[in-house]
Amino acid sequence: MIFYLILSLISVLFLIIADSLDNGKKAFSQAFAIFLAIISAIRYDVGFDYPVYYEVASQQGDFLWEFLRFEFLSKIIVFTVWLFKLPYLIFFIYSFLTVYFVFQGLKRLMPDSLHIGLFIYALFPLFFIDSFSLIRQHLAIAIIFYAISFLINRKFLTYIIIVCISGLIHSGSFVTILLIPMCFVKIKPWVFTFFVALTFVFGRQITLMLLDISGFSSSYLSPEGVKGTGGNLIRFLMNGVALGLLFLQNRLNEKVHFFVGIFSLGILFYNLFGSFGHAGIRVFEYFSISIVPLMPLVVKAFKPQRLVSISACLILLVFNLSYISLTTRNEKKSALTPYSTIFTTDNKGKFK
């Protein structure tokens, strides 16, 4: 936990320094982005899926079965790692590509507050910290985040092409095609509020009915209800955030409305599938990254500005550390703690 506390404080310090700079914000933000990528790249046995990717990269254990599950471009990354015979290279590639696309997305979506977006990405636990576990998916999420800037500018063909590329990294990306109709149909806040509330209360029953009618089954929709780190606590919190945003939407400008819609759509999926297995939060994370450009716009709508900004930073800090604390209580393993690196561990090839 000490490492993550220090990392959180470094993130806060980055925000304070970057905000005080008249010139050089972009260069300073680039340096912090590289720092985040390095932290991710050099980790060892940090993240639930780390052992799986290491075994695939080093061709150990049941690597072939896992490799065959990978999408086309993810297989290309693995082939590259095999070519160089450097198992740890897989984490460097995914880490730097993920941070790169997030940074490019921030440049396009919020060029004037790039450092703030990067700070939110670093501290919101479903993004940077969670990328240690869901490795392929978070690269795909980063690419979708970059693609949203084209969707906002109604460059639909470009958006679809980028979504397809992202889908060749992680197939879950294709769910974000559903964002296109939102550019043509303006859904009233009360409509989203009604369906968020409905699925929050009856989401499990609705999904059971749909699964029974369709006969569909998936390992990600476990009847035992494996919900991942934080279980329903995260879902309850995110529903509160969604309802709060919908309540405040009329006070916010038109650009914010679209991001609120993206986040709310993700909540609907989370409520429908969240009580069954990992599908709920996995789908939600594709939409939840809209909170990165959304949060600064919401903060600007309230006064006194400085007090609201400080309060938002403190909430993020507490949320981040609480999430990490929850991972230490996982029955299978503490995936994020302790943080160790490929340079400091004495147990290479062995995992928790």
Interatomic CA distance for residues 287 and 259, integer angstroms: 9
Mean pLDDT within 25-36: 94
CB 179 within 8 A of CB 151: yes
CA 225 to chain CA mean position, Å = 21
When pLDDT is cut at 50, 70 and 90, the band that residue 212 belongs to is confident
When pLDDT is cut at 50, 70 and 90, the band that residue 328 belongs to is confident
pLDDT tens digit sequence for 262-310 = 999 999 999 998 877 778 889 999 999 999 999 988 888 778 878 888 8
Under the phi-then-psi rule, with left for phi > 0, alpha for psi from -120 to 50, and beta for the rest, what region is 230?
left
pLDDT given at position 66: 87
**Dihedral, CA of residue 281, residue 3, residue 320 and residue 324, to nearest 10:** 50
What value, to the nearest 5°, has the Cα angle with vertex 132 and ends 278 and 164?
65
CB 142 within 8 A of CB 37: no
Residue type, 32: F
pLDDT given at position 104: 96
**Contacts (Cβ under 8 Å, ≥6 apart) of 250:** 189
pLDDT tens digit sequence for 182-200 = 888 888 889 999 999 999 9
CB 128 within 8 A of CB 10: no
Interatomic CA distance for residues 224 and 149, integer angstroms: 38
When pLDDT is cut at 50, 70 and 90, the band that residue 350 belongs to is confident
Stated as kind and residue range, the H or E segment containing 5 is helix 2-20
CB 1 within 8 A of CB 321: yes
Six-digit token pair at 87? 């198992």
What rounded mean pLDDT belongs to the chain? Answer: 88
pLDDT tens digit sequence for 240-275 = 999 998 988 877 777 788 999 999 999 999 999 887
- What pTM did the predictor assign? 0.93
pLDDT given at position 322: 86
pLDDT tens digit sequence for 38-85 = 999 999 999 989 999 999 999 887 788 889 999 999 999 999 999 999
Q: Is the pLDDT of residue 161 over 90?
A: yes
Distances in whole angstroms, Cα of residue 308 to Cα of each of 103, 243, 291, 313: 25, 19, 16, 9
pLDDT given at position 217: 64
Q: Is the pLDDT of residue 157 over 90?
A: yes
Interatomic CA distance for residues 66 and 187, integer angstroms: 41
DSSP symbols for 124-139: STTTTTGGGTSHHHHH
Mean pLDDT within 82-110: 95
Q: Is the pLDDT of residue 114 over 80?
A: yes
Distances in whole angstroms, Cα of residue 21 to Cα of each of 29, 150, 250, 308: 11, 29, 33, 21
pLDDT tens digit sequence for 166-177 = 999 999 999 999
